[in-house]
Amino acid sequence: VTLANDYKELVRQYQQRRDNYRLVAVEPLYRGGEFRYLSVWHPGGGKQRLWRDRSPGNLRSRQAQYRREGLHLANLEVFSREGTLWYLGIWHPGAQGNSRLEADLTWDEFLYRWGELARKDFRLIDAEVYSTAGGIRYAGVWQADTRKFRLWKTASIDTLLNKQEEYYPLGLRLHDLEVFVEGGRTYYLGVWLESGDEMRLWLNQPLEQFVNQQNQAPAQTLQLLDVEAYSTTGGLSFFSLLRELGR
């Protein structure tokens, strides 16, 4: 896990690490008027791409270009910085070149696209929820896939955890989690995909506890996949999604 004070520093980290590490997730952090990028890296390196743009259309153009290079959009982050909405993508090599990017959707539009693409054998792998002048909007990355899947939105963390237990015997594992505020209420949006992996979800960690726990987590048994930061009255807290290795 690394921290960058601005996008230029994030790009420098990427350029310095990309031969030996793979960038898997970026999470923008707002704390005390400061803005930083938190990045998650896995050992490995190799061919990958990082791109940030103000337009989802331009990001789709990059997606088409990188698809020809054998890369697929693996992670999407949408965030506001000094009044500008940004779309940040991470591309990895793989066979999942057939992917879709949808952005700036209302909840009803997002659900419609989710169902429509599912019928065409696309599965949601990454969801984004963000605020605009017109209200909350949703974006997502879909990849060609035929695995079982679920999507659930709730204002109760207990309900989300109950869904975890309900879906586990079906072979479904939490793949992505979004935490956001709408109308003064905190919501949780979970994406599940069929998988044989064993996953852990660490809840409500303050920044210092999150960093310490990541430094102490045994690398040979736990692999951090994704981070979701959100604001509380006490400052930033984190949800962490980890994969158990060797299971």
Contact 123, 165 (CB under 8 A): no
H-type helices in the chain, by residue range? 7-17, 56-67, 107-119, 157-167, 207-216
Residue ranges, the chain, pLDDT below 50 = none
List, in sequence order, every beta strand (DSSP E) within the chain: 2-4, 21-31, 34-43, 49-53, 71-81, 84-93, 99-105, 122-132, 135-144, 149-154, 172-182, 185-194, 198-206, 222-232, 235-244
Q: Which of 124, 30, 140, 13 is nearest to 76 (CA)?
A: 140
Other Cβ atoms closer than 10 A to 80: 13
Which pLDDT value is given to residue 142? Answer: 96
d(CA 184, CA 119): 34
From residue 16, alpha-carbon distances to 92, 140, 219 in Å are 17, 29, 21
Which pLDDT value is given to residue 73? Answer: 94
Q: Which of 183, 186, 230, 240 is nearest to 210 (CA)?
A: 240
User: What does pTM read for this prediction?
Assistant: 0.92
d(CA 112, CA 93): 29
d(CA 129, CA 55): 16
Write down the residue that tokens 């949703």 correspond to. Answer: 138
Reported as half-sphere exposure (CB side, CA atoms, 13 A), residue 86 has a value of 17
d(CA 208, CA 201): 17
Q: Indicate the SS3 state at residue 110.
A: helix
